[in-house]
């Protein structure tokens, strides 16, 4: 038996040790979760010091350490230590064992092979027979980190369309830099035509209070969601999610002179929560809706 085979056998035996708990049975605390489409979801977790085994047979897991982890390690890579801002990519079906020395808070982005294949076929016009994602442990990728932090920041109160935009950017980055699949330049030199821009602004004006998705908007101009997002930003200067949010904020402002309750205004303008409406409005006008309404009454 070769030295490599011997080391693999030792690690496999270690991974199945009874004193190492399965991740979801280890008392790990779920802080937030959001599943926004079939095959992809976000979650945020906190785990206390212990040894854990991680195995997900159905999905790939992209993990980002948010707090703690400086003395944590994977058992087959003991010299490689964790820390805030570092990433792990665990392909589906892969088993690994970890030592957690202090409290760690981290986010997970889950996606299936089928979902990734569909994304590549629909948006990059490539058909893959098999997905071979790399196994990454405590990897540094500042851009990918910023995308995941963005998904946590805008997070679990934001619109479905904003979460879709962030997840698409994460997948696109993984595909280009970790699967080495480059995009076509089919749509890179032009934006949306005037007719399509008119169709979209009218559609958003009629449906802004609904839970819009990228698929719904892309269907209006017969594009894939990914290419639609790129062309929309090139044409309007904002992502679809940011454009819709700005539209909703303006609708909130126009309704503040009425006698409607703020909670009703939030509902009628399509915000998922009144707190999300307040944050979005204050970001634009530096005042909360309640403060803005008081100024109108002066």
User: Looking at the predicted structure, is the pLDDT value of residue 214 above 70?
Assistant: yes
Tens of pLDDT, residues 130-176: 889 999 999 999 999 998 887 776 555 567 788 888 888 999 999 99
pLDDT band at 40; cut points 50, 70, 90: confident
User: Looking at the predicted structure, is the pLDDT value of residue 187 above 80?
Assistant: no
Tens of pLDDT, residues 233-282: 999 999 999 999 999 999 999 999 888 999 999 999 999 889 999 999 99
Which range has the worst mean pLDDT, 28-42, 107-121, 124-138?
28-42
Q: Can you give the pLDDT at residue 3?
A: 45
DSSP sequence for the chain: --HHHHHHHHHHHHHT-TTSEEGGGTTPEEEEEEEEETTEEEEEEEE-SEEEEE--SS-EEEEEEEE--TT-EETTEEEEE--TT-EEEE-TT--EEEEE-S-EEEEEEEE-HHHHHHHHHHHH----S------EEEE--HHHHHHHHHHHHHGGGS-HHHHHHHHHHHHHHHHHHHS--PPP-TTTT----HHHHHHHHHHHHHHTTS---HHHHHHHTT--HHHHHHHHHHHHSS-HHHHHHHHHHHHHHHHTTSS--HHHHHHHTT-SSHHHHHHHHHHHHSS-HHHHHHHHH-
Average model confidence (pLDDT) across the chain = 87
Q: Can you give the pLDDT at residue 8?
A: 47
Which domains, and CATH codes, for the chain? 3-178 (2.60.120.10), 194-297 (1.10.10.60)
pLDDT band at 77; cut points 50, 70, 90: very high
């Amino acid at each position: 038996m070769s030295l490599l085979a011997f080391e693999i056998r030792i690690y496999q035996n270690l991974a199945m040790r009874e004193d190492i708990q399965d991740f979801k049975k280890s008392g790990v605390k779920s802080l937030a979760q959001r599943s926004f489409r079939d095959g992809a979801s976000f979650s945020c977790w906190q785990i206390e010091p212990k040894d854990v085994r991680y195995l997900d047979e159905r999905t790939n897991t992209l993990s980002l350490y948010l707090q703690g982890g400086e003395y944590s390690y994977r058992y087959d890579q003991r010299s490689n230590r964790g820390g805030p801002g570092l990433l792990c990519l665990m392909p589906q079906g892969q088993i690994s064992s970890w030592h957690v020395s202090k409290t760690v808070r981290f986010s997970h982005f889950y996606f299936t092979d089928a979902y990734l294949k569909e994304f590549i076929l629909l948006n990059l016009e490539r058909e893959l027979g098999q997905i071979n994602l790399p196994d990454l442990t405590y990897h540094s990728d500042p851009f990918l980190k910023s995308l995941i932090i963005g998904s946590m920041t805008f997070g679990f109160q934001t619109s479905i369309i904003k979460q879709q935009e962030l997840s698409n950017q994460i997948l696109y980055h993984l595909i280009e830099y970790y699967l080495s699949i480059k995009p076509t330049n089919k749509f890179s030199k032009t934006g949306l035509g005037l007719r399509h821009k008119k169709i979209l602004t009218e559609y958003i004006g009629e449906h802004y209070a609904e839970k819009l998705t990228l698929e719904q908007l892309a269907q209006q101009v017969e594009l894939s969601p990914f290419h639609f997002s790129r062309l929309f930003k090139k044409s309007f200067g904002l992502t679809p999610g940011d454009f819709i949010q700005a539209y909703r904020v303006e609708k909130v402002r126009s309704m503040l002179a009425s006698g409607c309750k703020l909670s009703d205004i939030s509902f009628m303008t399509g915000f998922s929560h009144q707190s999300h409406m307040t944050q979005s409005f204050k970001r634009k006008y530096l005042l909360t809706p309640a403060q803005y309404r008081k100024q109108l009454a002066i």
